[in-house]
Structure 1
Amino acid sequence: MRCAALTGISPDVITDLKSGRPRTVELQSTNNIITIAGVEPGPDTHIFMTSIDIEDLSSGDPGICVYLLSTNITMKRIVEFSHGLYYEERERMSARVQVKYCSSSVVKQVFHEGLTKPTGVEVLKSSCYHAG
């Protein structure tokens, strides 16, 4: 299955998502914001999340697949004053995504064409069977 990939996610966040409840995660990494901007939320939309950095992501790396429930990309403007004579204005983009755990998975192939292109992966479909 091919899907978008969010990289460098905290292992604590991934562990929390495995509990099965929907969670909202704020993304500030440029490559993650670019990736999520190209994905439409929906009940069939899967995202691969891993704690591995984008530079190190390769075949065999573990992560989780999540359903993308909603996205919100915002721009924050920050103005800093120093001694009344100088001020600096900066903008910071962030994305908030609400996701819900689907399954654990492993990267089969990575599709990353550069900093300004979304990151995608081919993941192995995992099957989970429950008795009862």
Structure 2
Amino acid sequence: MEYVALTGISDSAISELKDHQLRTIEIRTPQNFFTSLNVGVGDDIFLTHTSIQDLTRGNTGIIAKVIKHQLSTHRTITGNDMFFEEHETMMIRLQLQAKGIARISKVLSNEIGKETRVVAEDMCFYEAR
């Protein structure tokens, strides 16, 4: 099945998602931000700890369902009598529910600045070792 893929997710976040079934993650990296921008509530996505540069057939990860999708902007203003500096960042918060473990069978797109997409197949427990 074809999925949008979020790469470079920490092992601890993936483990917590597996263990607790519901987890909210914040997406700040540019590649994952662009990838998750058009993800909607109810969509299934693929998450892996593998970096986008190392994404290949055989990499494992977790399939999760998007429960909530929130786009937010954070603005910070610092300064003194001489200057002011304004810094603005955007992030996406995804609340996810774990569905199962999967293995990539084909990488469809992993170009920088474009949506990362893979074809992944569900794995049985005994195959995940």
TM-score, scaled to structure 2: 0.89
1:1-132 residue pairs with structure 2 within 5 A? 1-42=1-42, 45-81=43-79, 83-112=80-109, 114-127=111-124
Kept in 2, the 8 Å contact 1:38–1:118? The answer is no
- Total equivalences in the alignment: 126
Shift of 1:84: 2.1
Higher helix proportion, which one?
Answer: 2
In the aligned structure 2, how far is the partner of 1:17 from the partner of 1:113?
Answer: 24
> Counterpart of 1:18 in structure 2: which amino acid?
K
Q: Distance in 1 between matches of 2:75 and 2:20?
A: 34
Cα distance, 1:76 vs. partner? 1.2
1:20 shift after superposition = 4.1
CA RMSD of aligned residues (A): 1.7
Instruction: Tell me the amino acid that sits aligned with residue 94 of structure 2.
Output: V
Task: Could you tell me which runs of 5 or more consecutive residues in structure 1 were left unpaired when the two chains were aligned.
Answer: none
C-alpha separation in 1, matches of 2:110 and 2:104: 17
Q: After the TM superposition, list the runs of 4 or more consecutive aligned residues in structure 1 that deviate by more than 3 angstroms.
A: none
Instruction: Return the letter of the residue paired with 2:32.
Output: N
Counterpart CA distance in 2 for 1:70 and 1:84 is 42
